[in-house]
Structure 1
Amino acid sequence: MSGTDKSKAGLSLDGPIVILVEPQLGENIGMAARAMGNFALSRLRIVNPRDGWPNIAAQRAAAGADHILERVELFDTVEQAVADLDLLFATTARAHDQAKPVVGPEAAVAEISGHVATGGKAGIMFGRERWGLTNEEVGLSNRIITFPVNPGFASLNLAQAVLLIGYEWFKLMTSGELPHGMPERSERASQHQMQAFFNNLVRELDRVEFLRPAEKRDTMLVNLRNIFSRMEPTKQDMHTLHGVIMAIAEGRKGPAKGGVLDGEQATRLRALLAEHG
């Protein structure tokens, strides 16, 4: 989805390190970096990427997350990539039958937040596109992260898994604050303004005999008034609606400005143009 505002400074949050273990496709690395950028995760480690590094396909797929790719740390083994971490999570869709806590992404980022705040260093491992992490690699972790997904179709794309973690992390760190909201509306219309508009509306409806039969007129007027009351219109709304009613009324009474010329008018215009060359 487009929408990056280059006039605004991006946030920099001291979050978990993302570790991609033997990723096979450069495109997936780039899309993972893009997901990290969306949610202010900046530290990416890659273990033994199949197609080497740097990778042009990753750069193309990163869609502007070059600052993350430029700082990538490369490692030959998982053990080397996690050696300096004191809280390690392994993401997996499969049960590895290991005696360690299994948590969802929301609980994981809550623990990471407290750990990082006290000076700890946390990381999250993501496995290969085809078969994920091995039992031995999961065995290195302190916790397992799994996602609440359809059990009959549980496999996530690598970048999607990173994005889900990033989303929960950013939501926690920013208290779920949205980047923008509804523009501020003008002041609410006063009862006097509402009544003036309604009087004009009723006058025009009477001219076209809309409020019939006579015995239902009062009920119809109450229903009409309630339509506009439920809208809670602003002063600007009332100006606009008033203009609409007046435009319809004036358009019915005479020829609209800027309309198509009739035959006589067209003849006069042609004569005038011919006279002035």
Structure 2
Amino acid sequence: MSESTPEINQAIPPVVVLCEPQLGENIGMVARAMANFGLHDLRLINPRDGWPSDKARSASSRAHHVIDAARVYDSVEEAVADLKLVFATTARSRDIPKPVVGPDAAANESVAQGLRGIPSGYMFGRERWGLNNDEVALSNRIVTLPVDPTYASLNIAQAVLVCAYEWRRVATAGALPFSLDDYDGEAATQESIQRMFEHLETGLDARGFFRPVEKKPVTVRRLRNIFQKADLTENEVRIMRGVISCFEKYGVKDKS
């Protein structure tokens, strides 16, 4: 069983900028969402309850490396000064002529730029009313999520999680952190499977399973198809042979 972590193709992860976050708990949950998907650069603009925050640390669910490295700024301009690609996240239409993209398209662009060593970042607004127009104006793109317009508001950590997920999905080409494909060993050879079929059919035939006899060919084909669809491994074939051998130990049913 492999549990290796997928490579990120050396793309620079985007930073996450929170504009005037109100609750330490929300900052902590943002840090947790970032850590889930490999982001680590958290920037805070004038957090209402100050910084550092014990509540944020507690809510981060051990994403302490993100909390400990978080930096505080006095303005959006300072927080994004080193970035060359900035996405402003919002659920509301703005009277600002900027490209509007979904989180998937934003991730594609962020990863592409990150592979070239170009830093990018996502801005998220206040819990109650998001980003203001002046803050959105500092961005290159607007990111909005494909939510139901009748209930478009997301918790800030949820919004961060969606964007972080999309970034990692693109950065790793959708690779999952582990696979169980090889848990039971190599795929069974057709020779092993055919011998198992013959073993099974002999045992079933001896116990009168194939009745009426004229339907035996159809039943045999269906049985074989069941096991072929299972993509059996050699170990699984051995287990099946053991099962068949077990019921063979009992007396053959009287066919009379």
Deviates more, 1:36-45 or 1:8-17: 8-17
Q: Does 1:29 align with 2:56?
A: no
Alpha carbons of structure 1 residues 135 and 240: separation in structure 2 relative to 1, 3 Å: same
Secondary structure at the counterpart of residue 152 of structure 1: helix
Partner residue in 1 for 2:188: 188
Give the greater-gyration-radius structure (CA). Answer: 1
The answer to whether the 8 Å contact 1:201/1:245 transfers is yes
**Cα distance in 1 between the residues matched to 2:6 and 2:200:** 49
Matched, 1:104 2:102: yes
Q: How many residues are aligned here?
A: 246
Match of 1:54 among 52, 57, 78: 52
Alpha-carbon separation, structure 1, partners of 2:223 and 2:115:
58
Decide whether the 8 Å contact of 1:41 with 1:166 is kept in 2.
yes
Q: Specify whether residues 232 and 81 from structure 1 end up closer, same or farther in structure 2 by C-alpha distance, changes over 3 A only.
A: closer
TM-score norm. by structure 2 comes to 0.84
Matches within 5 A, 1:27-176: 27-118=25-116, 120-176=118-174
Post-superposition shift, 1:24?
1.5
Contact 1:190/1:235, CA 8 A, preserved across alignment: no
Q: Secondary structure at the match of 1:125?
A: strand
Amino acid at match of 2:16: V
Instruction: Determine the C-alpha separation between the residues in 2 that align with 1:118 and 1:222.
Output: 56
The 3 A distance-change label for structure 1 pair 234 and 16 is closer
Question: Alignment identity in percent?
Answer: 48
Distance 1:75 1:35 in 2: 21
Distance 1:219 1:119 in 2: 62
Change (3 A) 1:96 1:8: closer
Structure showing greater relative contact order (alpha-carbon pairs closer than 8 Å, 6 or more residues apart)? 2
Q: Judge conservation of contact 1:13–1:40 (CA < 8 Å) in 2.
A: no
More off after superposition, 15-24 vs 169-178: 169-178
Mapped to 2, the partners of 1:112 and 1:9 lie a distance apart of: 18
Q: Counterparts of 1:225 and 1:175 in 2: how far apart (Å)?
A: 36
| Cα distance in 2, alignment partners of residues 150 and 174 from structure 1 | 28
The answer on whether the counterparts of 1:31 and 1:159 sit within 8 Å (CA) in structure 2 is: yes
Structure 1 regions of 5+ residues with no counterpart?
254-277
1-side partners of 2:174 and 2:96: how far apart?
33
- State yes or no: 1:208 paired with 2:189: no
For 1:181, the aligned partner's letter is: S
Q: Is 2:235 the partner of 1:241?
A: no
Query: In structure 1, what is the Cα distance between the partners aligned to 2:193 and 2:118?
Result: 61
Q: Could you say which residue in structure 1 is the equivalent of 2:254?
A: none
**Contact kept in structure 2, 1:24 and 1:49, CA below 8 Å:** yes
1:228 maps to what in 2?
227
Shift of the alpha carbon at 1:128? 0.9
Q: Which runs of 5+ in 2 are unaligned?
A: 252-256
Determine the structure 2 residue equivalent to 1:260.
none
CA shift at 1:91, angstroms?
0.6
CA RMSD of aligned residues (A): 2.6
- Give the alignment's TM-score, normalised by structure 1: 0.78
Q: Distance in 1 between matches of 2:160 and 2:107?
A: 12
Residues 115, 220 of structure 1: alpha-carbon distance in 2 compared, 3 angstrom cutoff: closer
d(CA) in 2 for partners of 1:9, 1:222 = 41
Of 44-53 and 175-184, the range deviating more from structure 2: 175-184
Change (3 A) 1:202 1:14: closer
In 1, Cα distance between the equivalents of 2:243 and 2:128? 61
Paired with 1:10 and 1:219, the residues of 2 have a C-alpha distance of 49
